[in-house]
Chain A
Amino acid sequence: MTALVPTPGQTVGPFFGYALPFDRDNELVARSHPSSVRLHGRVTDGHGRGVPDALLELWQAAPDGSVVQQAGSLHRDGWTFTGWGRASTDADGHYVFTTLRPGASQPGRAPFFALAVFARGLLNRLFTRAYLPDDAEALADDPLLTSLEPERRETLVCRPDDHGYAFDVRLQGDGETVFLRYPGQ
């Protein structure tokens, strides 16, 4: 079987704002859901300034660790958890998702939010993981995290806060987030 060469990516550009966002795109559950948590943070550039035209996509397991295969993300009915959402940054580079805590999608592994990052000025999408900080033992055993220097490892772990988790995406410079390349890419 001959592998085909993948089509190149290109920047999402400055004008996605009227095309990709949709109603309740960043609300995987309602804030009033008894188990809702906030995942939020800032996307910053090499000077530490907020990136006001970035788009983040969140893909995650359900609280029991199962993979959700439910349609309905684009027209949320308020009851169906699809595991996927999309958030645009505001004028200060801040994004927010309302969601549920993901369970570990493999037994014994540390649970994480999978994120794809798009922005004007970013020529191809970036992938990263935002690990939940709660299970110290699982984090200490995680194959990705243990392969990183401690200060780089920290860039992939959420900070707990009053409503859930904070996770900044630093595209460049001090505390630059670890971005991922999957096999074959």
Chain B
Amino acid sequence: MSTAREVDIEVENDDAFDAPVVVSSDTASTTQADVSREIAEIAADYQRSGLEETQPRLDYAPYRSSVLRHPTKDLHHVDPETIELWAPCFGERDVSPLEADLTIQEGGEPLGERIVVTGRVVDGAGRPVAGQLVEIWQANAGGRYIHKRDQHPAPLDPHFTGVGRCLTGADGSYRFQTVKPGPYPWKNHHNAWRPAHIHFSLFGTDFTQRMVTQMYFPGDPLFALDPIYQSITDQRARDRLVATYDHDVTQHEWATGYRWDIVLTGSQRTLMEES
């Protein structure tokens, strides 16, 4: 599954790695140049392999927290059984339409650049995934999460939780109104910064399609430096996580607009029903 070279890394206090703000010398002693060199070596190996990868590597040492948290054995091929050919069902009792607007949740307007993010969720054959749950979470405009583990000294916004949900429409469409998240520092290495992103949690029509990912913004200068984004070794695959600025989504004197479509893996159930 992975051809990443073995990297000897001392992992004494793994909990420290993703926490923002560097305080421990373990992670602080690794520089961006060190991490960038590791990223470049893996990228070069990938280029030479001639194989096309479309998903992140699980074993990707530049992302330090993955070192002890990736399986070492290959994933085992299995044909899905009935329960795996269906997904949990969500409906209007689960999600209020207001939850798709992250700018109205806390009794006032959050600070930042108001944006609309919209797109479609489809399966591997391009069929819309209708009436299914989409969950998002993100940092505020200053790059701060309200999570208690995020202690980096950027301001919290009393009018922003950064959490949203919606159900897809009949055409698989989703739409959120929010503010653009800021980039933020984390502890993978000294002076490590995550590109601005919105986390997405997605369900399909089959349990096998369940996925969680991150949507990025076009042209982010931190892309090349970020081991989480770079854990996807293929540039075309990485590009699939980057939204497109869409002036047709932008609203006059109100919000700029981004479009991002999501393709889940093929629906095994539909394949079986059609065969």
Measured CB to CB, the residues of A under 8 A from B are 1-20, 45-47, 49, 51-52, 57, 59-61, 67-75, 82-84, 102, 105-106, 109, 112, 114, 116, 118-127, 143-144, 147-148, 152, 171-173, 176-185
The verdict on B264 contacting chain A, using a C-beta distance below 8 Å, is yes
Chain B residue at smallest Cβ distance from A85: B88
Provide the bound-state CA to CA distance between A61 and B207, in Å: 12
Binding site for A on B (CB under 8 A): 11, 14-15, 17-19, 54-58, 60, 63, 65-84, 86-95, 122, 124-126, 133, 135-137, 139, 145-147, 149-150, 161-163, 165, 199, 201, 207-208, 210-214, 228-229, 231-232, 236-238, 240-241, 262-266, 268
What B residues does A83 contact at CB under 8 A? 88
B263 close to A67 (CB less than 8 A): no
Given the complex, which residues of A lie within 8 Å of B81, measured CB to CB? 105-106, 109
Are B213 and A123 within 8 A (Cβ)? no
Cα(A44)–Cα(B160), bound, Å: 34
Chain B facing A: main interface SS? loop
Q: Which residues of B contact A11 (CB under 8 A)?
A: 56, 63, 66, 212, 228
Of the residues A13, A18, A105, contact of B83 by C-beta under 8 Å: A105
19 extra interface residue pairs, beta carbon distance < 8 Å, beyond A46-B67, A74-B133, A181-B74: A6-B124, A11-B56, A15-B145, A18-B145, A18-B146, A20-B201, A71-B90, A72-B93, A116-B210, A121-B14, A121-B65, A121-B69, A179-B76, A180-B76, A181-B77, A183-B79, A183-B268, A184-B265, A184-B268
How far is it, in angstroms, between the C-alpha of A52 and the C-alpha of B149 when the chains are bound? Answer: 12
Interface pairs (21), CB distance under 8 Å:
A1-B126, A5-B237, A7-B213, A9-B212, A15-B199, A18-B137, A45-B68, A45-B69, A59-B87, A59-B88, A61-B83, A71-B89, A112-B83, A114-B207, A143-B79, A172-B70, A172-B72, A180-B78, A183-B79, A184-B268, A185-B55
